């Protein structure tokens, strides 16, 4: 999968000048399918109830139905993760 992504980015970079930079970060891959499962998470902490520090989020975890709601859920989980990491756990 990594090789395919690298080749895809290079090919797109040849078609769109300036697309590839040293500043970009890839954080996930979007698919055209919705998750048929929902990974459990605590409603208050947004962490998995049995795996401390795991924050299931977005469409792949069953908490969103599209790109905007997945982004919003990701922001909520990122905030919860920062709170978790800075609270001394």
For residue 41, give the 3-state DSSP assignment. coil
Torsion angle (degrees, nearest 10) of CA 64, 28, 49, 41: -10
**Span 11-27, average pLDDT:** 81
What pLDDT was estimated at residue 21? 82
pLDDT tens figures, 25-49: 776 666 556 667 789 999 999 999 9
Task: Using a cut of 0.85, tell me whether the model's pTM lies above it.
Answer: no
Instruction: Return all residues near 65 (Cβ < 8 A) that are at least 6 apart.
Output: 34, 59
**Span 42-59, average pLDDT:** 93
pLDDT > 70? residue 72: yes
Q: Which residue has the higher pLDDT, 50 or 22?
A: 50
């Amino acid at each position: 999968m990594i090789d395919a992504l690298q080749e895809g980015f290079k090919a797109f970079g040849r078609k769109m000048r300036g697309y590839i930079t040293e500043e970009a970060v890839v954080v996930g891959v979007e698919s055209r399918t919705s998750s048929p499962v929902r990974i459990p998470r605590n409603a208050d902490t947004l962490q998995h109830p049995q795996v401390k520090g795991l924050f299931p989020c977005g469409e792949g975890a069953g908490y969103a139905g599209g790109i905007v709601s997945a982004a919003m859920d990701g922001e909520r989980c990122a905030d919860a993760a920062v709170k978790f990491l800075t609270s001394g756990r």
